[in-house]
Structure 1
Amino acid sequence: MTVVWLPMAFVSSRSEPSSAKVQERAIGLGAALLVGLNLRPAITSVASLLEPTGAWFALNPVQLSMLATLPVIAFGVTAPLGPLLARRLGVVRTLAWAMGALAAALVLRAMVPGGLLVGTFLEGAAIMAAGTLLPPYLKSLGAGGLWIGLSSMSFSAGAALGAGFTVPLSHTAGGPPIALALWALPALLALAAMLRVALRSRAPVHSGERMQLTRATLPTVALITVMFGLQAMLFFAVAAWLPRLLGDRGVDAATAGWLLALASIAGLIPTLLAPMLARRRRALLWFGPGLGVVMLIAFVWLASGDTSYVAITLVLGAVQGATFGLSLSLIVSQSADEASAGMLSAVSQGVGYAFAGAGSLLVGVLHDATGDWTAGLLFMIVSAAVLSVVVALVIRRPPVDLRAGSRVRV
């Protein structure tokens, strides 16, 4: 008999007042939002300051491309880390450790001589661990479409903050190092919130439940992995290279940073609404594949040379935010239970982010090889078309139960 342990902050005895349970659940969900808020500023802050950071640290072109894409590469390399730690420490405690490690890595990359690339890789590992564990954490709280949407929206909010405020902070602080290191402060706030949840938890910290992939569940897992990888690659390609692309077209660094922030702001409401729309089957059938089509149109628009950058970034931000919210929602809804959500999250995000890192790096390599952005944008256009098809297939798959020895529901 399998016993699933949840934090006692959310599963309590009958004698505990209902209001106390509601309060503890609200604190746990609020902590999830703080974690989500910290999973993008480390990336968009560097993207908005990529050229000044390269000049400050005397990076060559290869190192500069690595700086832009290393966090996403770290996502793929360290994908198993979060689930492995969660088996020993529990999901809540692992999330707390991830936020502490993220804060330390942000300081390391900016303030310690020679620590830029090492700290950037470690920050990616910490972000990956936290991002992998958020879906099973939300499922353990019984989070519905609204809370999944709010959690997804916190990612976009963090991305907007990192993109929009880092350049002004750099000007105020006298250079990139302080501006980049300051993003450790919200990570420490998320650490405090998760410690608050962990201290109220009396759940055992070790789970011996085994997971397995079968021939019946593999197609769903593979499709969700491809879906997540494509949407992540397109997001990180924009986050890493849009400011540089705009700079090559004559846009100053501050304006390019704010345009990147605008893309993240535009994604806030769509990221919130997408998981709620995903609960409506009829809407999902056209809404899901339609996101890839709109993204394709946005990339064609960007490639056309039109200088309507505000409109282009608004469309890109909105559709990419909605696609991320949909992806997170499908990881949760296509899992039969919390444990399956954990494995599906680890596989799809681990392999997906490895592809995203390679694809995002390829966009930069294509630019360096050809001298312009045409080949990279063509690659992104084709990827958006494939994403539309894959989403259409995912939403027609049944939920999967990945626990060893369980029956697969078909």
Structure 2
Amino acid sequence: MLSTASDSIDPMIDGSGGHVCNATDDSIGNLVTVRNARLATFASFFLGGYTVAMWASNVPLIQGRNQVSDGQYAIVALYIGIGATVGCIAAGRVVDRWGPKWTLRLSAALYAVSLLPVGFATGAASLGVAALAMGVLRGATDTSVNAHGVAVERRLGRSTMLAFHAAWPAGGLVGGLVSAQFMRMAPDNPVLCLTVNGIGVAFAVIVLSRWYLPEAPEGHGGRTIDDRACVGGQAAALSPARSASTLLAVALGCTGLCAMLGEASSDWTGKYLHEQLATTTAVAALAFAFFSAGQLVGRLGGDALTRRWGATAVTATSGLLAALGLAFTLALPHAYTALLGLFVFGLGLAPIVPLVLATAGRIDPARSGTNIGIVNMLGYGGLLVGPVLIGTVVVHAGLTLALMIPALLALVVAVIGPPVMRKARLGASHSLVATVPESVRR
């Protein structure tokens, strides 16, 4: 039976009440299981960022070992992006069929192992093949870890996705530091670093997967037990139509695309400080650091704001804040005000993509993986298109005008984000969601 509850999952979407199922011991599982799954999800996001850092930190060594030019490396990077978009969609379908637990265990472990063929590649051709495979597994890991995060969030009955996403850059930071230590031991060869860390991360994933959320019994479409109907057959009857669910996911993906294009533009901010504001290279190097610091703060504090005001209000405010931050950077030609503006820019962008992914996963629990995969695919498209778009405008119109594009896109998020979130909430309100007692939400 459906009932209105003050502790429903809907406050994560717009701060208002919604419809939930009455929880039973069978539907919520053991409270310790939920808490362990939350910690395992944090660790999985951390390891995802750590694995990305292993690749990114070793790019110069990989280029040198394989005698790959900058132009050839651009093609390798394109292969990674193409592979990631394919992996996002493929993993989404697997998640819907088998559930996020096994999909995440397999994709994350193989993603870590994929560092080995990248390290052992002996030329541009073999590196390209290895990079394509790594991209597919990266996209699959991204979709499955977000799907598992949404499932954990649903079980907890409160917003946690932003905190999960904060663990990703934390993993990247640690991974970069660890990689630097390996480079001291083997300054000209990435094989040792990628082999040791690839195997180590894969082992850690396998161990962590013991605490992922259990899957539903056979016959429930591979979903986690929190996605089962409280009364047989009701979930299927109330689930939104597939076409409507897909359209909502695409609309959310376009919102995320605008935010990801903004994040991709952060690579140009150091160049802006150095060339347009005539700063030293040391000061210019702080541009990305300030942007990243803003993102970290935004994600660490964003869940509390989402629980208080709802994802709709947070998304609108975040878009405006990001636009104002970048406008502040461009309007005041001073290094310190520019750095402050970049911090605000990162702070504003930080909540958007995690909230979009979480909302996509709640439209229809039966198609959570597919919808998250669609959003991820469009997001990776933003990362691919962003540098090309900004670079083209830089060549023809200058860097200042080029950086106005992400500011305008942030305003687009502030405008289109709220109605899309509301529409997604209406779709999600037709899906049955099991909750847990208040004690587990503390």
Global fold match (TM > 0.5): yes
2:367 is the alignment partner of 1:358:
no
Q: Unaligned 5+ residue runs, structure 2?
A: 1-23, 224-235, 433-442
- 61 and 365 in structure 1: CA distance in 2 versus 1, 3 angstrom threshold: farther
CA RMSD of aligned residues (A): 4.2
- 352 and 317 in structure 1: CA distance in 2 versus 1, 3 angstrom threshold: closer
- 374 and 169 in structure 1: CA distance in 2 versus 1, 3 angstrom threshold: farther
The count of aligned residue pairs is 386
Q: Cα distance, 1:96 vs. partner?
A: 0.7
- 183 and 324 in structure 1: CA distance in 2 versus 1, 3 angstrom threshold: farther
Give the match's secondary structure for 1:39: helix
Partner of 1:22: 31
2:154 is the alignment partner of 1:140:
no
Q: Cα distance, 1:162 vs. partner?
A: 4.3
Q: Cα distance, 1:93 vs. partner?
A: 1.0
Bigger Cα displacement from structure 2, 161-170 vs 138-147:
161-170
Bigger Cα displacement from structure 2, 28-37 vs 50-59:
50-59
What amino acid sits opposite 2:108 in the alignment?
Answer: M
2: CA distance, partners of 1:151 / 1:352: 18
2:92–2:369 Cα contact (<8 Å) kept: yes
Which of 161, 175, 188 aligns to 2:174? It is: 161
What amino acid sits opposite 2:417 in the alignment?
Answer: V
Bigger Cα displacement from structure 2, 385-394 vs 131-140:
131-140
2: CA distance, partners of 1:69 / 1:388: 30
The superposition leaves residues 244-287 of structure 1 with CA deviations (integer Å, 9 ceiling, x where unpaired) of: 7678775269x83x764554344234213323322334x65543
What amino acid sits opposite 1:325 in the alignment?
Answer: P
- 212 and 170 in structure 1: CA distance in 2 versus 1, 3 angstrom threshold: farther
Q: Cα distance, 1:95 vs. partner?
A: 0.5
- TM-score by length of structure 1 reads 0.75
In the TM superposition, what are the counterparts of 1:256-275 in structure 2 within 5 Å?
Answer: 256=285, 260=288, 263-275=291-303
Bigger Cα displacement from structure 2, 389-398 vs 305-314:
305-314
Q: Cα distance, 1:29 vs. partner?
A: 1.9
The superposition leaves residues 360-399 of structure 1 with CA deviations (integer Å, 9 ceiling, x where unpaired) of: 34334555x4596445423323322222222232233243
Q: Cα distance, 1:307 vs. partner?
A: 2.8
- 267 and 159 in structure 1: CA distance in 2 versus 1, 3 angstrom threshold: farther
Bigger Cα displacement from structure 2, 222-231 vs 194-203:
194-203
Bigger Cα displacement from structure 2, 371-380 vs 30-39:
371-380
Partner of 1:9: none
Partner of 2:425: 399
2: CA distance, partners of 1:179 / 1:310: 33
2:359 is the alignment partner of 1:330:
yes
Q: Cα distance, 1:126 vs. partner?
A: 1.8
1: CA distance, partners of 2:176 / 2:330: 22
2: CA distance, partners of 1:346 / 1:77: 9
Q: Cα distance, 1:103 vs. partner?
A: 0.9
Q: Cα distance, 1:63 vs. partner?
A: 2.8
Structure with higher Rg: it is 2
Identical amino acids, percent of aligned pairs = 16
- 32 and 390 in structure 1: CA distance in 2 versus 1, 3 angstrom threshold: same
What amino acid sits opposite 2:132 in the alignment?
Answer: F
Bigger Cα displacement from structure 2, 141-150 vs 122-131:
141-150
- 232 and 94 in structure 1: CA distance in 2 versus 1, 3 angstrom threshold: same
Q: Unaligned 5+ residue runs, structure 1?
A: 1-12
2:112–2:199 Cα contact (<8 Å) kept: yes
Partner of 1:150: 163
Give the match's secondary structure for 1:174: coil
2:96–2:222 Cα contact (<8 Å) kept: yes
Partner of 1:122: 133
2: CA distance, partners of 1:242 / 1:50: 21
Partner of 1:38: 47
Give the match's secondary structure for 1:32: helix
2:238 is the alignment partner of 1:224:
no
- 280 and 108 in structure 1: CA distance in 2 versus 1, 3 angstrom threshold: same
Partner of 2:344: 315
Q: Cα distance, 1:226 vs. partner?
A: 0.8
2:109–2:203 Cα contact (<8 Å) kept: no
Q: Cα distance, 1:227 vs. partner?
A: 1.1
2:262 is the alignment partner of 1:234:
yes
- TM-score by length of structure 2 reads 0.70
Bigger Cα displacement from structure 2, 40-49 vs 349-358:
40-49
Q: Cα distance, 1:291 vs. partner?
A: 1.4
